[in-house]
Chains A and B, each alone.
Chain A
Amino acid sequence: NAGVTQTPKFRVLKTGQSMTLLCAQDMNHEYMYWYRQDPGMGLRLIHYSVGEGTTAKGEVPDGYNVSRLKKQNFLLGLESAAPSQTSVYFCASSLGGGGETQYFGPGTRLLVL
């Protein structure tokens, strides 16, 4: 049982390049989330999904897209990376939405030059 895993662990992009971050969970959780963590600001929700095939915007969705084609995977895409998207990205999942604990992946460190 690996829990929540994220790929890649670290990536450097040039401005304008695109990339996809992959999140996978093996806990059969319905809900999945993408957060970003910037210094001094805690974590902020980018997008989330309440089930396979569904996605919704969080607090800071601009510049990102997501897809949840399979229940166990939640993809975060950057179509045209900007230096402001330099951050640490965390994926999380929870069994449902009734206050269940969110379990986090190890994070992806992204640097956009």
Chain B
Amino acid sequence: AQKITQTQPGMFVQEKEAVTLDCTYDTSDQSYGLFWYKQPSSGEMIFLIYQGSYDEQNATEGRYSLNFQKARKSANLVISASQLGDSAMYFCAMREGVNDGEYGNKLVFGAGTILRVKS
């Protein structure tokens, strides 16, 4: 079974508008972390934002915020005031477990969502 599901293969958003990229996850661990990465057409992976399972508040980093709904097992990325430079592939990823020796901080990635910002 997939542990990270990104149901939107592609999204369009008008410049300056907000957009939400969906991510649902599946884990039986109580302690886990959720990450979002951006991959522009140049190919590099850029870390955007992190949410720990015990964090009570939703994570925010500038124009990025993570809408964390633990009961629904969702960790949606919200980008406010979209810019043309936001056009990229976006990946949601999860780290499971607290035992470093067992899990090694490994990440499991979703298939990604391509975002296109229109001017």
Contact = CB atoms under 8 A, between A and B. Distances in A.
A39 to B, nearest CB: 9
A48 interface: yes
Interface residues of B, number: 27
Interface residues of A, number: 30
Nearest to B33: A99
Given A43-B109, A45-B106, A50 B101 contact: yes
A31 B101 CA distance: 11
Interface stretch (B13-21, B43-51, B66-74, B75-83): B43-51
Interface string A73-113: 00000000000000010101010111111111111000000
The 3 residue pairs across chains A and B that have the minimum distance between CB atoms: A97-B100, A42-B109, A104-B45
9 contacts: A35-B109, A41-B111, A43-B109, A44-B109, A94-B105, A97-B104, A99-B52, A99-B105, A107-B43
Contact of B50 (A101, A103, A107): A101
A44 B3 CA distance: 12
